[in-house]
Amino acid sequence: MARRILIAGNWKMNKVQSDGLALVEDLVGRVKGEGAAKFDMLVCPPFTLVSKACEAAAGSAVAVGGQDCHMNEKGAHTGDTSAWMLADLGCSYAIVGHSERRTDHAETNEQVRAKAEAAHAAGLIAIICIGETLAEREAGRTIEVNRTQLLGSLPDGATADNTVIAYEPVWAIGTGVVATPDQAQEVHAMLRAELVSAKGQGTADAMRILYGGSMNPKNAAELLALPDVDGGLIGGASLKADDFWAVAQGCP
């Protein structure tokens, strides 16, 4: 089943107006010049740049997303941003459950699931991140950990249209150590099989599962060619237009 590749950039806590908006404008120009691109492109800037990024990308094929969202629509949650606020600015995606959120803010599967439900209710596509630590991999717990995170974080209402899964081994994020194709495909195939049980064959066949963790222009083509890898969630290599674009050119 043909799933459209998604090339998603997670800028994390990087960039200010000058270089951030120049990056969006650069990517908008490249996607336009490409004509019928083989991939969907998404950038997830820090919240300070979301509004202007949405303006810069308006009418283009570059989508904009938040890096997180609160599980409530509004209320007394100082410093937080709701999915509805992201949608109001023009976002179409929200990342939820990134390992840095799970670690820095002790987010649980239940909270990630509630955030994904909020994203859906606000009309956003939720990118649900999961992944094992090095200690969990070395203890032989990779499959169990990812299965538990997937099933614990996936809303009942998840469909292939409103949900993307991102498998991001924690030991590969920002380390320069990338999963081997065999390691990535093993987990992605397991996730696909779990989606069949949880959501049925049709949804599982259509739902995109991204790989994230030190994806770069050198390793992207090999990873993106794997049967169950449907794109990348890219941190460091999404901060420079040439690198991010080169990753996208790795699409099969």
State the catalytic residues: 98, 168
User: How far, in Å, CA of 163 to CA of 125, rounded?
Assistant: 5
Nearest to ligand PEP of 11, 84 (CB atom): 11
Contact call for residue 231 and ligand PEP (CB under 6 A): no
Question: Contacts with ligand PEP in 158-177 (CB under 6 A)?
Answer: 168, 173-174
When binding is defined by CB under 6 A, the residue of 45, 155, 231, 235 that contacts ligand PEP is 235
For the beta carbon of residue 136, count every other beta carbon within 10 angstroms. Answer: 17
Q: What is the DSSP letter of 240?
A: S
Contact call for residue 107 and ligand PEP (CB under 6 A): no
Report which secondary-structure segment, H or E, holds 126: strand 125-130
Closest to 98 measured CA to CA, from 245, 234, 240: 234
Contact call for residue 134 and ligand PEP (CB under 6 A): no
With beta carbons less than 8 A apart as the criterion, state whether 238 and 9 touch: yes
Interface pattern 57-86 for ligand PEP (x via CB under 6 A): ------------------------------
Contact call for residue 233 and ligand PEP (CB under 6 A): yes
Closest to 129 measured CA to CA, from 92, 102, 110: 102
Tokens of 248: 């996208």
Place of tokens 């938040």: 66
User: How far, in Å, CA of 234 to CA of 228, rounded?
Assistant: 17
The distance of closest approach from Cβ of residue 238 to ligand PEP in the complex, given in angstroms and rounded to an integer, is 7
Nearest to ligand PEP of 91, 172 (CB atom): 172
Q: What is the largest CA-CA distance in the chain?
A: 48
Contact call for residue 97 and ligand PEP (CB under 6 A): no
Contact call for residue 213 and ligand PEP (CB under 6 A): yes
- Segment near ligand PEP (CB under 6 A); pick from 30-38, 79-87, 157-165, 207-215: 207-215
Interaction site with ligand PEP (CB under 6 A): 10, 12, 168, 173-174, 212-215, 233-237
